[in-house]
Chain A
Amino acid sequence: MKDLTAVRLRAVSKVYAGSAPIRALENVSLDITAGTLSLFEGPSGSGKTTLLSLIGGLDRPTNGHVTVFGAELGNLPERELVKYRQTQLGFVFQDFKLIDVLTALENVALALRLRGMRRRAALARARLVLEVLGVGSRCDSRPRDLSGGEQQRVAVARALAPQPRLILADEPTANLDSMTGTDVMEALKGVTHHRSTTVIVVSHDARIAPHADRVFRLLDGRLVENLTREAA
């Protein structure tokens, strides 16, 4: 495993302004090594999703620096952030977020088309990735006709197909039973091995910890534990 830092947070704070400002993250510093699967756990409201949104360039920190693959996100203009999400990131959501008017195949191809891949090539690649994830037979189904596990695998395929360097998954197994949850985690774990993709998973799910190279624990916006797999 190359010892390269994929994600670096330095003294990151996030305050949601309002009549009663909420300090969602306070002074978080951490490094995530490329090609590993990191897990963030913590009770509800501890700032896990907020952290993910900062790393994903969906929001900007109030203080501190978020650096991903050497690029400081805080300095990037909106246009560059879009490009960053398009070319470097894959997202997996708790509620799958598949587009219902598109078939499974089209949902996956869409992520490739957004990166400028031609239609035919995008469809071929999407089909391949769906097959690898075991849902090749459901290519032409609409999301509403798929089971939750199948939908999440399609969503994972959408995140993986463009071969991003970093995958961000927010509660990817929360809506799945433990068998399918394990399948999805294995798929995510697989890409860290095969492609040195960096994966960051946010979850309450205790079953995920065994898949993680590293476990971070958040409490009230602070990083309270930082365990390597051996220690966990």
Chain B
Amino acid sequence: MTWIGVHFALREPVRFGLTGCGLACAVVLMVFLTGVYEGGVSGSLSYIADTDADVWVGRPGSWNLMRSSGILPGSVGERLREVEGVESVEPILAALLPAVVGQLRRSLLVIGLEDTARSARPRRVLDGLAVPGIGEIVIDRAFAMRAGVGLADTIALAGYPLAVAGITDDTNLLVTQYAFVSRLDLLGAVGLGDGATFFLVRTESADGAGLAATIEQQVGGVAAYDRATFLANNREELESGFLPVLWVIAVLGLVVGVSIVSIMTYTAVLDKRQDYVLLAAIGAGRAVRFSIVMQQALLAAIVGSLAGLGFLAALHRSLPVMVPELPLRVEPWIGATAVAGALLMAAIGAVFPGRVATQLTPLEALRR
């Protein structure tokens, strides 16, 4: 095994750098989007996953939290408490409402909590309270940064001034953020006497699915989901919106990456045509010449993807300051997949130039 391909690559730093840059861009594009998606999913689902509820009960058709407008009468709570196996019942009210801070207007996914909320309160509190009192609001960190507000500052929610009482983390849904207010305040803001989007039910037994079935049977006019099903519902809602876009961009990124490698490696082969011809003449078989081309592409992939990940690491630090709403989350598996993806792009991109190198005839060495 000769590593002459590595020499070819490293001693042509401009071409090699450009190839690496192209791959780095493809990697950054794909990892960035995946990372933002992962961050968005995490921010969207963490709140739901962290709640201490075995069964979510809502109006029939209200199968997820993020896009549900159905309201159940408050009296449903009493009927739920009578179902055997129910330990506690806690109503929440969800509404998408405009928040105004100075010139800034944003829609927030506002969750109205009981002042005694236990099951439904947010768990990741950076500062202040988890459960707001009357006239108070608990907001997401990204929104707080964007709006430039902290504890005790005032936010106008649907026209009602509320004081910031707490700041939460992992509550950024990318397109909007969670906020928490008192359910009574929220009922007033949306013009209702009583009502709940969901009731969070806890059970003494461990059988959430069984209880959900019992509730649907005994209470009637409601839909009940055990914890895992409800989480899956919300994930499905997110994925149906994001994943197709993500896939299209990933495929485009792949095509761009492959094209860049292919073009750059092809010009490298043409440029070094005489060298490949010589190699063929002095006994480098097709496989050796192919591997020399492949080495150059794979090296560019390794260097390019690492550079791309380095750039993303830097971005990861500065992004929360520059664009707080973008919840970039790069898990190790995403980085590893990106490196593997870059290697794949390079390998595919090098096939055609590699074949060109193998098909050059050594006879050319004697025919200048």
- A residues apposed to B, CB below 8 Å: 49, 52-53, 56, 58-59, 79, 82-83, 85-87, 89-91, 93-95, 97, 99-102, 106, 110-111, 113-115, 158, 170
Contact = CB atoms under 8 A, between A and B. Distances in A.
19 contacts: A49-B367, A53-B366, A58-B281, A58-B362, A82-B284, A82-B285, A85-B281, A85-B282, A93-B366, A100-B275, A102-B7, A110-B2, A110-B282, A111-B282, A111-B283, A113-B2, A114-B2, A114-B282, A114-B284
B365 interface: yes
A47 to B, nearest CB: 12
Given A82-B283, A85-B283, A101-B11, A58 B366 contact: yes
Given A99-B278, A101-B8, A114 B283 contact: yes
Contacts of A170: 366
Instruction: Decide if the interface of chain B is mainly helix, strand, loop or mixed.
Output: helix
Contact of A58 (B4, B285, B365): B365
Contacts of A101: 7-8, 11-12, 275
B274 interface: yes
B288 interface: yes
A159 B85 CA distance: 90
Contacts of B11: 101
A113 B282 CA distance: 11
A97 B363 contact: no
Contacts of B288: 114
A211 to B, nearest CB: 21
Interface of B: 2, 4, 7-8, 11-12, 274-275, 278-286, 288, 361-363, 365-368
A52 B281 CA distance: 12
Given A49-B367, A114-B2, 5 more contacts: A85-B282, A91-B281, A97-B278, A106-B7, A114-B284
B366 A87 contact: no
Contacts of A87: 283
> Which of B11, B278, B368 counts the most chain A CB atoms within 10 A?
B278
Contacts of B282: 85-86, 89-91, 110-111, 114, 158
B366 to A, nearest CB: 5
Nearest to B275: A99
A49 to B, nearest CB: 5
B64 to A, nearest CB: 59
Contact of B4 (A79, A86, A97, A110): A110
Contacts of A49: 366-367
Nearest to B9: A101
A58 B361 CA distance: 8
A79 B358 CA distance: 13
B332 to A, nearest CB: 35
Contacts of A114: 2, 279, 282-284, 288
A106 B275 CA distance: 14
A85 B278 CA distance: 11
6 tightest A-B contacts by CB?
A86-B283, A101-B11, A82-B285, A85-B283, A58-B363, A97-B278
A98 B275 CA distance: 8
Contacts of A85: 281-283, 362
A53 B4 contact: no
A97 B365 contact: yes
Contacts of A93: 365-366
A52 B11 CA distance: 33
A115 B284 CA distance: 9
B17 to A, nearest CB: 15
Contacts of A106: 7
A114 B283 CA distance: 7
A85 B286 CA distance: 13
Contacts of B361: 58
A139 B186 CA distance: 82
Nearest to B11: A101
Contacts of B2: 110, 113-114
Contacts of A100: 275
A50 B274 CA distance: 19
A52 B366 contact: yes
Contacts of A115: 283
A56 B362 CA distance: 10
Contacts of B363: 53, 58-59
A52 B284 CA distance: 19
Most-contacted residue by chain B among A83, A87, A114, A170 (CB, 10 A): A114
